[in-house]
Structure 1
Amino acid sequence: MIRPQDVLARAAGRAAGRAAGWSDVEAGRAILEFIFLGLLLLLPLTYLVLTAARLQAASFSASLAGREAGRAFVTARSDDDGYARARAAAQLAFTDFSFEDAAAVSVACDGSPCLRPDGTVTSTATIEVRLPLVPDFIASHVPASVTISSVHVASVDRFVAR
């Protein structure tokens, strides 16, 4: 229920505000300022989160691909089979994180043949991560990608007969 005293108090408050130099012209302007400043601060923060998430995904993918390529290689029956298995295992890890196009894996051995007892196999996974939302005309002038790599060393079992 609205009381007459409340109506009179509001009217008196408005009159006092006008006397102090306030006007109804500024009514509602605070919400516009809040939205403008909110967007101004939120857009760079959103970009930062997107970029950090993409780099973290690349880091996980490179680590997983290098480890799985090394494991797949040392459990193969022959060197040729090992290279094929390492590429397949790394490709699965790259695909899990959507890095099929800009990723590669390389396998190196410490001697010949690679799968000799107590041999070591080094697998290196490399991913070229394009930064999100960078247009091509800017990418030609500034670095628009980051390279993430991971190295994993796997040892061949001493007691496995091949």
Structure 2
Amino acid sequence: MKKINLILLALTLVITVSCKKDKTAPETEKTVAETAKKVKVKLESKSGSNVTGNAVFTEEDGQIKFTAMISGLEQGTHAIHIHEKADCSSDDGKSTGGHWNPTGAPHGQWGSSAGYHKGDIGNLEADAEGHAMIMLKTDEWCIGCSDKNKDVLGKAIIVHAGTDDFTTQPTGAAGGRVSCGGIIK
């Protein structure tokens, strides 16, 4: 009888400890979720193209992780930039203005010591089916912060028909704007 009581007592302790751990797990997850900021962007076709996609900006611990998945592209290399305004109302995407360049730097390749716009994300490669993906992690952007030189909210993502040559000023000779998505909460 003592063995059964000991076993029951041990089981009760295990269940009690397990329940307490389960109760604290959501609190931990909630804390992590509260510190992360996320903005999802839907990219729509422009300039008579069929180019669409989705992008996500996730900010956590002072870092932004940017991921974009695009479809409907012609196979090959295409530029992707952040532009000044989250206005995708025009058919050609030009309502977004120029590249986002709050620091007045020359156009260039992301990370170049010669300089680059905050919106000079770079190029992505579309496969034979027209799909492309790009990922970038940086502390040079933020979501909804008070630093106008870093805040991506109110800007737009533009995918271009051509390749960014990283030298032609101020656009990189990237060609027409084939997809647009406003970065808004």
TM-score by length of 1: 0.31
Q: Which has the higher contact order (CA 8 A, sep 6+)?
A: 2
TM-score by length of 2: 0.29
- Higher normalized helix content (fraction of residues): 1
- Higher normalized strand content (fraction of residues): 2
